[in-house]
Structure 1
Amino acid sequence: RPGGPGAGGREGAVVGDEGAVDGDVHRAGGGRAVGVPQGERGPAPAPAAAVAHEAESAALSRGVVESNHPGYTGSGFVNYDNVQGSHVQWTVDAAQAGRATLTLRYANGTAASRPMDITVNGTLVADDRAFPSTGSWASWSTVTLTTDVKAGANTVRATATTSAGGPNVDHLSVDTAGPVASTPAAVNGQLRVCGTKLCNQYGKAIQLRGMSSHGTQWYGQCLTGGSLNALATDWNADVLRVSTYVQEGGYETDPRRFTDLVHSLIEQAAARGMYVIVDWHMLSPGDPHHNLSMARTFFTEIAQRHGAKTNLLYEIANEPSGVSWSRIKSYAEQLIPVIRQHDPETPVLVGTRAWSSFGVSEGGDENEVVASPVAAANIMYTFHFYAASHRDEYLNTLSRAADRLPVFVTEFGTQNYAGEGADDFAMAQRYLDLMASRKISWVNWNFSDDHRSGAVFRSGTCAANGPWTGTSSLKPAGVWVRDRIRTPDSFPTG
């Protein structure tokens, strides 16, 4: 499978500096009716309203209230002095102790990020959180994080960490409701591997179904508040895979920017009750050891910040190729302990040989993994397929492997191995039938408007900001996979 899915031609797509942090976050409250037949679902209940706290009404230190740039809410915004330590502090009330989603609306007309520390009740909850450029002082964006609050009054402070000061801050929005009980992440809670299955907090085997992003360096503009709302409530997806390419203009070019994009998307998916696969999208070079040092840095920060969450999975090597299984295993056994230092519970997904085909694309099979599994607990092995290219040999390998190993299909398409060409829905359905019978979780490639047939949206949809719901913006593959994600889940809780 040389080149992997979507190889070649993608460098023409451009994503702006704001990437996935643009767009206000709205919780998809109750969008999924778990176990209810599709035709019997009523309208989703309205999300609990987040409470906006205007910056101009907060306590200020070395900042001024202004109204000389349009687009703000309330009567104005706070312009931080250009000095380290300037801050805005709000007092917010919570009816009860628990998790809260904090969303800061801001503008940054400079070319550089203006990072800030966020503290809640004096405890640092976001260290040097990036507030990237929004293009102009009249363009507003949001940064979101999730934290714990106490019952009653809470203080939230945003403090500039550089001599440039902070961005212009419009308001702080606080949502203390959290994901409602009917969302996939709320029903299933902390996942773990039990035998050859992925199990929920009740120890019951489940199957997750969802979508993978395209590379966020190209298609971050397809991951907005509106599109993620649609994925959670119109598509009824259980899981979003966030694909952070390492090369090809990705992470290695700007680690801070791409790590912050992942932080933002984790928070936004959590607010909508979806699971998130943090995908370290190594592709070329095919030896995962080439990126081991960067992977240690990346996953250390992700695990430190989000390890307490229960809606994560870590995919540590997208598609190894041209190397032996022992080489991949060595990489996994060096990286997994780094993650476990900060997050002992989240399942880790390990890529397999030959573009995550269990070696089939290079003449091998699953027996090499069965004979020499990774020496770590709570892990699964990944398998990728593209139905028009990967026929019965691959299907049979997946079937055999799932009998002996925990498997997660973190990428598949109905097209050829490059994610383009004609759709083979019949072959793809054979795979889906197998995965349903074995409770193998799956994620489809990809939730973007790339020109290839494997991207679910028609070209131009993301630039036009939708429409995200329904089928009018979807290619045939998008209509097909949306229909199969939308079918009712079966999440046992007894």
Structure 2
Amino acid sequence: MGEGRSGRAHDRAERPEARKALSRRADQAATRIAAAADATTTPPPTTPPPTTGTPVERHGQLRVCGTTMCDRSGARVQLRGISSMWLNWETAPYAENLSALTWMRDNWNLQVIRASMGVEPAGAYLSNPGKARAQVETIINNAVSAGVYVIVDWHAHEAQNNQSQAVAFFGDLARRYGHLPNVIWEPYNEPLQVSWTNVIKPYHQAVVSAIRAADPDNIVVLGTPTWSQAAVWNYGHFTSISPPCSCFGSACGGSALPTRPGR
């Protein structure tokens, strides 16, 4: 009897330790099951986009994807940069200065520059095409050297009145620069309050056809009525077409060029 009572007491003493051991083994098994489940359901990590190199080295050929812009890897891209003054009125031509462009790239995170070539005023393209074209080509070549994007802008409010000149201008530049991923075309800056169907769209179709004959890839930004503030989506069969939206200062929702951290 004494031995039986002693054996039962010994069993009772071992039971808490046994329960603890079982609990530890159960926890370990649960951990292994969870790890196995994660291995089968969690997708492998993707390669992050490059963070070094120039903007064009990082993103390459751009394209329109849905309602946004994507780079060569399919990642969404928002370019930030500056526009020149109407080139015919630019008295201190910073936009044509490669050193200034490189400095803005490195210190302001500039990714794109817009060459706003005036068309209609005195001294602009229609009255001095050689000078205007040389200014635009200087900006294009500087953008290529700096590895940034460049918007070639036919800066006019009534471009439909000079359609043949625009077709010749963009057709020629597309043949010579359309192979470069740096270039974005803008054939009509800010149309006035005129008909999209009867005035602006036929103009765009003529100019885009001239561009696409030599450059099938680069984005074309098409101005819309009311200074490019009206939404229009009926562009036709062309690819890599994007509508602009003109805004100025605080209307754009904040600073267009954030500086690097710490600056």
TM-score normalised by the chain length of structure 1: 0.40
Q: CA distance change for structure 1 residues 321 and 486 in 2, over 3 Å: closer, same or farther?
A: farther
What is the deviation of 1:189? 0.6
Aligned ranges for residues 69-80 of structure 1 at < 5 Å? none
Aligned ranges for residues 255-334 of structure 1 at < 5 Å? 255-283=129-157, 286=158, 288-326=159-197, 327-334=199-206
Rounded to whole Å, the distance in 1 between the matches of 2:113 and 2:180 is 15
1:231 aligns with 2:104: yes
Are the aligned partners of 2:83 and 2:116 in contact in 1 as well (CA < 8 Å)? yes
What is the deviation of 1:242? 0.5
Q: 1:243 aligns to what?
A: 116
What is the deviation of 1:276? 0.3
Q: 1:378 aligns to what?
A: 240
- Aligned residues with identical type, % of pairs: 34
> Which amino acid in structure 2 is aligned with residue 235 of structure 1?
W
Q: CA distance change for structure 1 residues 238 and 254 in 2, over 3 Å: closer, same or farther?
A: same
Rounded to whole Å, the distance in 2 between the matches of 1:206 and 1:194 is 10
Rounded to whole Å, the distance in 2 between the matches of 1:297 and 1:209 is 29
What SS does the corresponding residue of 1:349 show, helix, strand or coil? Answer: strand
What is the deviation of 1:485? 5.5
Q: 2:73 aligns to what?
A: 202
Q: CA distance change for structure 1 residues 310 and 320 in 2, over 3 Å: closer, same or farther?
A: same
Rounded to whole Å, the distance in 1 between the matches of 2:152 and 2:112 is 11
- Structure having the higher strand fraction is 1
Q: 1:189 aligns to what?
A: 60
Q: 2:217 aligns to what?
A: 345
Rounded to whole Å, the distance in 1 between the matches of 2:115 and 2:81 is 11
What is the deviation of 1:375? 3.3
> Which amino acid in structure 2 is aligned with residue 353 of structure 1?
P
> Which amino acid in structure 2 is aligned with residue 196 of structure 1?
T
Are the aligned partners of 1:329 and 1:374 in contact in 2 as well (CA < 8 Å)? no
Are the aligned partners of 1:333 and 1:375 in contact in 2 as well (CA < 8 Å)? no
> Which runs of 5 or more structure 2 residues have no equivalent in the other structure?
1-48
202-211 or 220-229: which moved more?
220-229
Total equivalences in the alignment? 210
What is the deviation of 1:481? 4.5
Are the aligned partners of 2:111 and 2:149 in contact in 1 as well (CA < 8 Å)? yes
Are the aligned partners of 1:199 and 1:206 in contact in 2 as well (CA < 8 Å)? yes
Are the aligned partners of 1:239 and 1:274 in contact in 2 as well (CA < 8 Å)? yes
Are the aligned partners of 1:211 and 1:241 in contact in 2 as well (CA < 8 Å)? yes
Are the aligned partners of 2:107 and 2:259 in contact in 1 as well (CA < 8 Å)? no
312-321 or 229-238: which moved more?
229-238
> Which runs of 5 or more structure 1 residues have no equivalent in the other structure?
1-33, 37-180, 359-365, 386-412, 415-424, 433-479, 488-494
Rounded to whole Å, the distance in 1 between the matches of 2:145 and 2:129 is 24
Are the aligned partners of 1:279 and 1:315 in contact in 2 as well (CA < 8 Å)? yes
Rounded to whole Å, the distance in 1 between the matches of 2:259 and 2:237 is 33
> Which amino acid in structure 1 is aligned with residue 239 of structure 2?
A
Rounded to whole Å, the distance in 1 between the matches of 2:126 and 2:237 is 28
Rounded to whole Å, the distance in 2 between the matches of 1:321 and 1:188 is 34
Are the aligned partners of 1:313 and 1:348 in contact in 2 as well (CA < 8 Å)? yes
1:252 aligns with 2:126: yes
> Which amino acid in structure 2 is aligned with residue 344 of structure 1?
P
What SS does the corresponding residue of 1:242 show, helix, strand or coil? Answer: strand
What is the deviation of 1:374? 3.5
Rounded to whole Å, the distance in 1 between the matches of 2:161 and 2:214 is 23
What is the deviation of 1:300? 1.4
Query: What is the CA RMSD across the aligned residues, in angstroms?
Result: 2.1
Are the aligned partners of 1:320 and 1:351 in contact in 2 as well (CA < 8 Å)? yes
Aligned ranges for residues 73-472 of structure 1 at < 5 Å? 182-219=53-90, 221-223=93-95, 224-248=97-121, 249-283=123-157, 286=158, 288-326=159-197, 327-358=199-230, 366=231, 369-370=232-233, 372-385=234-247, 413-414=248-249, 425=250, 428=252, 431-432=253-254
Rounded to whole Å, the distance in 2 between the matches of 1:234 and 1:292 is 39
- Structure having the higher helix fraction is 2
> Which amino acid in structure 1 is aligned with residue 215 of structure 2?
D
TM-score normalised by the chain length of structure 2: 0.74
Rounded to whole Å, the distance in 1 between the matches of 2:256 and 2:64 is 26
What SS does the corresponding residue of 1:280 show, helix, strand or coil? Answer: strand
CA displacement 1:87-108 (0-9 Å, x = unmatched): xxxxxxxxxxxxxxxxxxxxxx
Q: CA distance change for structure 1 residues 374 and 311 in 2, over 3 Å: closer, same or farther?
A: same
What SS does the corresponding residue of 1:201 show, helix, strand or coil? Answer: coil
What SS does the corresponding residue of 1:253 show, helix, strand or coil? Answer: coil
Larger Rg, first or second structure (1 or 2): 2
> Which amino acid in structure 1 is aligned with residue 219 of structure 2?
P
> Which amino acid in structure 2 is aligned with residue 274 of structure 1?
V
Are the aligned partners of 1:300 and 1:339 in contact in 2 as well (CA < 8 Å)? yes
